[in-house]
Structure 1
Amino acid sequence: MKVTIDKNSGYCFGVEFAIQMAEDEMPQDGILYCLGDIVHNDMEVKRLYDKGLRVITREELQNLRDCKVLIRAHGEPPETYQIALENNLELIDASCPVVLKLQNRVKHAYDKMQEVEGQIVIYGQKGHAEVIGLTGQTYGEALVVTTPEDLEGVDFSRPVTLFSQTTKSTKGFYHIKELIEQRMQEARGGAALTVLDFNANDSICRQVSNREPQLTRFSQQHDVILFVSGRKSSNGKALYAVCKQFNENSYFIENESEIDPAWLEKAESVGICGATSTPMWLMERVAGYIESICQQQEV
C-alpha cells in the first residue's frame, strides 16, 4: 500500500505565524495566555498547553491584569484592545495580515454605508472568532449570513456591501452573491444594479481557496482519503466536503485512533490531507500508523 501526504495541506501562513509567536513568547518557567484556541485542532492545543500556553475566554480576559496575552490569527474586535489598555495587558498580536487587511476594509466600507443608510453583510460562520472581529469593526451592526435562509434579515431595498470570512468556500460565496443580486433586482423592479447599490468583495484567502482545486485532484488520485482536522474547524468541514464529493471513500478523523482498518482493506493507495489548522506532525503520525498496520498485516 502506498501512503501519501498532500504537500499542500497543513498550516496556512497565518496559523503558522501565530504558533511560532506563541512558542517564542512562552517563558521557560511560566505561562502565556491566549484568547481562544490558537488553532482549531485539539491535538495542537494540547501540545502547546504542555509548553505553557493557557487558553482563556473573553470573560476571563476582563479579569486579567499586568500580564501578556496572545491574540491568535483570527484577529479581534476593537473592544479587546480597549480592555488591554484598561487592564495594563501586553498584547502579543499574531493576527493574520490577511485578516487585519480585511478588518480595515470592513471598517472603511461600514463608514461609507453609514452615509447612504446601507448594510454590511458578511458571509461567514456565526460566532466564529474571525467573524466576531469583523463585525466588531461595524459596532456589531453587520449581518452575518451562513445559509441562503439567513438572507431574510437583509433589506434589499437598501445598498449592500458584501464581504466573506477568509476561510469560507469560494463556491458558497458566489452563490450568496448571486442570490443577493437577484433579490435586490427584484426589489427594484428588475433595474440593473450599480456598484453603489451592491458591492461584492471576494475576501477569501487565496491560500485557502486554492486548496479546493488542489484537493479535488488529490482526492481522485487515491483509493482512500483520510482527512485530518479538528471538528471545530470551519475550514476543515469545507475542505473535507470537497474530498467527499470527488472520492466517496473519504473519512474525517481527528487523529489516528479514529481510523477503522476496514477502510483500508482493499486500498492500494491512501492519501492523507488536512485543513489549514492541521499540523504536519499530526498527518505524519497518521501516515506512520497506517504503515504500521500494513506491516502487521504482512507478518
Structure 2
Amino acid sequence: MEVTIDKNSGYCFGVEYAIQMAEDEMRDSDKLYCLGDIVHNDMEVKRLSGKGLVVIDREQLKCLRNCKVLIRAHGEPPETYKTAIENNIELIDASCPVVLKLQHRVKTAFDKMEREKGQIVIYGKKGHAEVIGLTGQTLEKALVVMEEKDLESIDFTRPVTLFSQTTKSTKGFYELKEKIEERIKATKGSLTEVDFNANDSICRQVSNREPQLTQFSKVNDVVIFVAGKKSSNGKALYQVCKGINHRSYFVESEEDINVDWFYPEDKVGICGATSTPMWLMERVKEYILSKSGEYILTE
C-alpha cells in the first residue's frame, strides 16, 4: 500500500501566522487568552490549551481586565477593539491580512451604500467568526446569505453590493451572483453597474486548493480528508474530493478510520483543510500504515 500526504494541504498563511504568534507569546507566559477557537480543529486547540491557551467568548472578554488576548486569523468587529481599550486589554492581533483588507473594503462599500440607500450582501455562514467581523463593519446591517432561499431577505429594487467570506467556494459564489443578477433583471427589467456590484473576495490560497484537490482525488484510489467538524472550509473541500472520488472519507483523527475502507494494493491520499495541522495528517498516515495487516484481502 502506498500512502501519501497532499503537499498543498494544511494551514493557510493566516492560520499558520496566528498559531505561531500564540506559541511565541506563550514562551514567556503560562496563560494567553484567545477569543474563540484559534483554528477550527479540536485536536490543535487541545494541543495549544496544554501550552496555556485559554479560549474565551465575547461575553467573557467583557469581564477581563489588564491581560493579553489573542485575536485569531478570522478577524474581529470594531466592538472588540473598543472593549479592549476600555478594559486595558493588550490585543495580540493575528488577524489575517487578507481578512483585514476585506474588512476595509466592506466598510468603504457600506459607507457608499448608505449614501445610495443600497445593501451590503455577504456570501457566508451566519455566525462564522469571519462573517461576524465583516458584518461589524456595517453596523450589523449587512445581509448574510448562503443559499438561494436566503435571497428573499434582499430588496432587489435597491442597489446591491456583494462580497464573500474568504473561505467559501468559488463555484458557490458565482452561482449566487448569477441568481442575484436574475432577480434584479426580473424586478427592474435591466441590470446596470449601479444596480449590482459583485466582489469575488475569496482567498486564492484557499480557492486554488479546489483544482489541486480535484487532481489529487483522481490519482488516488482512496482519499482520507482530515479536518475538524467545525471547519466550513473543510466541509467545502471535502465535497470537492467526494465529487471526484466516491471512496473519499472525512475524519477528524485516526480514531475515525475504518480498516474496511482499504485494499492492500490501494494508493491512499491524505489531505485536509486550511485549518488542518500537518502533524495530524502525518499521524493519520502512520496509523493507516500500522494497520496494513488488517485490510481486506482482494479475491
The one-character-per-residue Cα deviations of 1:150-191 (angstroms, maximum 9, x if unpaired) are 0000000000000000000000000000000000011112x2
Number of the residue aligned with 1:159: 159
Partner of 1:137: helix, strand, or coil? helix
Structure 2 residue corresponding to 1:285, chosen from 283, 286, 298? 283
Number of the residue aligned with 1:61: 61
Checking the alignment, whether the CA contact within 8 Å between 2:213 and 2:240 is kept in structure 1 is yes
The one-character-per-residue Cα deviations of 1:261-288 (angstroms, maximum 9, x if unpaired) are 0001355200000000000000000001
Equivalent position amino acid for 2:173 in 1: F
Number of the residue aligned with 2:225: 227
Partner of 1:237: helix, strand, or coil? helix
The more displaced of 26-35 and 52-61 is 26-35
Equivalent position amino acid for 1:233 in 2: S
The one-character-per-residue Cα deviations of 1:225-252 (angstroms, maximum 9, x if unpaired) are 0000000000000000000000000000
CA distance in 2, matches of 1:259, 1:267: 18
Number of the residue aligned with 1:276: 274
Equivalent position amino acid for 1:232 in 2: K
Matched residues, number? 296
Checking the alignment, whether the CA contact within 8 Å between 1:72 and 1:95 is kept in structure 2 is yes
Equivalent position amino acid for 1:204 in 2: I
CA distance in 2, matches of 1:258, 1:186: 48
Checking the alignment, whether the CA contact within 8 Å between 2:264 and 2:292 is kept in structure 1 is no
Number of the residue aligned with 1:109: 109
| Deviation, structure 1 residue 118 | 0.1
Structure 1 121/29 Cα, relative in aligned 2: closer, same or farther at 3 Å? Answer: closer
Structure 1 residue corresponding to 2:202, chosen from 201, 204, 207? 204
CA distance in 1, matches of 2:79, 2:73: 17
CA distance in 1, matches of 2:136, 2:193: 24
Equivalent position amino acid for 1:38 in 2: I
CA distance in 1, matches of 2:19, 2:246: 33
Structure 1 residue corresponding to 2:241, chosen from 238, 243, 252? 243
- Residue pairs, 1:1-299, within 5 angstroms: 1-28=1-28, 30-189=30-189, 191=190, 193-265=191-263, 267-294=265-292
Partner of 1:196: helix, strand, or coil? coil
CA distance in 1, matches of 2:295, 2:145: 49
Equivalent position amino acid for 1:294 in 2: S
Checking the alignment, whether the CA contact within 8 Å between 1:223 and 1:267 is kept in structure 2 is no
| Deviation, structure 1 residue 27 | 4.2
Structure 1 267/62 Cα, relative in aligned 2: closer, same or farther at 3 Å? Answer: farther
Checking the alignment, whether the CA contact within 8 Å between 1:224 and 1:267 is kept in structure 2 is no
CA distance in 2, matches of 1:213, 1:276: 15
TM-score (norm 1): 0.97
The one-character-per-residue Cα deviations of 1:18-63 (angstroms, maximum 9, x if unpaired) are 0000001114452000000000000000000000000000000000
CA distance in 2, matches of 1:139, 1:29: 36
CA distance in 1, matches of 2:29, 2:114: 50
Partner of 1:174: helix, strand, or coil? helix
TM-score (norm 2): 0.97
Gaps of 5+ in 2: none
Q: Percent identity?
A: 72
